[in-house]
Amino acid sequence: MQTKMTNSYKERLKEITRVLHKHAITRGVSPEKLRLILTDLGPTFIKLGQIMSMRSDILPKRYCDELQKLCSDAKPMAFSEVEEVLQEAFGCPWQEEFQEISRVPLGSASIAQVHHAVLKTGEEVVIKVQRKGIYEIMARDIGLMKKAVKLLPPVSLKEAVDLNLVLEELWRVTQEEMNFLTEASNMEEFSRKNKNVAFVKTPVLYREYTTANVLVMEYIDGIPIDGKDRLLADGYDLDEIGSKFVDNFIKQVMEDGFFHADPHPGNVMIQDGKIVWIDMGMMGRLSDRDRELIGDAIEGIALNDIGKIQDAVLALGEFKGKPDQSRLYTDIRDLMAKYGTADFGQIDIVEIFTDLMDVMKENKIVMPHGLTMLARGLTHMEGVLAKISPKINMVQIAAARLKENLLEEGSWKKQLKGTGKKLYRSLLRAVDLPALAADFFQGCMKGQTKINLDLHASDDLAWLLRRLIRNIVLGLWVMALLISSSIICTTDMKPKILGIPALGVLGYFGALVILMYLFVKHFMKK
């Protein structure tokens, strides 16, 4: 038995090596070549390629776009093997739990296939059955691929991608997807978060029949969301469907922080006037902080505020080295110049989001995994809208929802609280400004202070300097007024207002006016 397994490993390793040599991998790996290699290596690697296409954080966009062309169809698993998997999962013949199971699958992919079935109680369901032994096969193939890569001379994609790192990450993601209990939990969480959305439905999950290898859920006899002719024949308003589709996705992203990362037409159905989201194996997550920063970036794009976009990007990402902020600023400025003075509602959000991610990648900023999943989701959304309702603009719907959230009591209170904290911190720093300035000039007089200037000639430099000098001068005025007014208030100077010298009150009022001016100017620039 052991000898047989060893021989199997050797034969598969030879096969993988042969495919890699066939495509002359040592001469480089173009996007098309990578797709062809994965296709020749078989279903396991086709699945890996599909997962890779969603990872624009570790693969260049050109490669991700090419890998999306990989076909997910695979040779159906024999029904006898399906019966074996069900027997192992339930501990009894499937006939004891189901009235019938269709022998012909509804769909067959590299990891699992889906069958229509009827429970003993009469409910129509679909059974998602994992291919027998697929975990062991994929573990073997990835292990052998690592060995094959080591046997070959160093291989680089044009953008210097570490293939070993890619394989490690892919195996981690694949393991998660092969555990159907994870998908079941995703379905339950998605259902809870969308239970109050009248036009959204999640298939009923039958937990009692669900295991790591088998998933049983409600059968959805609906129309694919891109089935334009069928939807029109049934009297549906395509613009209404498109608007609700986008609105719910934006809600998933910006409110829930838990969204469907693979909303292609096969995973979204229309049934009884509701949008039904199915296949929760690939979900994206965004933390509260990530969502807030994405909102800041969107606001910066809308207002053409390069500084705000830069701050959001720097806060979102992790750095492979020390970031070159001047280069990042220039790249973002060039990106915004590309869109000119176009109205925000006319901007292609997918295009600008992709461009912004490319800027992050070029500046060696590692994006959160949730952000790459969002990019993939937005691409699918755009594709669906192009088919059923091309007039729908995702940006306008997103802006409307963000505005609605801003007006909610909790949101504006949170924002007001945050602004108050920033103002308090700014005042504390302003108190230290005279002492810091004195130390600076004293150091200069003693020859102990060195100034390193890295000035880049740009149109924004003069504006930045003017703004800096203006704020420093106004800050010094505020400090002078506060200090002088405080001294006056310790005297018995008349006239008085409410027992306080009127001149002191006037000084405090003047300082307040200047602070309000700075406050208003700050938010107008935002």
The catalytic site residues sit at 262
365: burial class by Cβ within 10 Å (0-12, 13-18, 19+)? buried
What is the distance between the alpha carbons of residues 391 and 67, in angstroms, rounded to a whole number?
A: 29
Residue 339, classed as helix, strand or coil, is coil
Q: Starting at the edge strand that comes first in sequence, how are the strands of the sheet with 274-277 ordered?
A: 200-201, 274-277, 268-271, 223-224
Amino acid code (one letter) for 470: R
Q: Which residues, in sequence order, are CB contacts of 271 under 8 Å at separation 6+?
A: 201, 220, 221, 222, 223
The end-to-end CA distance of the chain, in Å, is 69
What is the distance between the alpha carbons of residues 46 and 60, in angstroms, rounded to a whole number?
A: 18
Q: Evaluate whether 49 touches 42 at the Cβ level (below 8 Å).
A: no
Q: Tell me the CA distances in angstroms from 333 to 301, 308, 339, 356, one per residue in order.
A: 11, 11, 10, 11
Q: Evaluate whether 310 touches 332 at the Cβ level (below 8 Å).
A: yes
82: burial class by Cβ within 10 Å (0-12, 13-18, 19+)? buried
Q: What pairing do the DSSP bridges indicate for beta strands 214-218 and 124-130?
A: antiparallel
Q: What are the structure tokens assigned to 412, written together? A: 């504006």
For residue 200, report the phi and psi dihedrals to the nearest 5 degrees. Answer: -120, 140
Query: CA angle, 241 as apex, 240 and 245 as ends, to 5°?
Result: 120
Q: Tell me the CA distances in angstroms from 338 to 323, 342, 365, 425, one per residue in order.
A: 23, 10, 21, 36
Q: Which residues, in sequence order, are CB contacts of 11 under 8 Å at separation 6+?
A: none
How many CB atoms are closer than 10 A to CB 313?
Answer: 25
Q: Report the number of secondary-structure helices (H) and strands (E) in the chain.
A: 19, 15
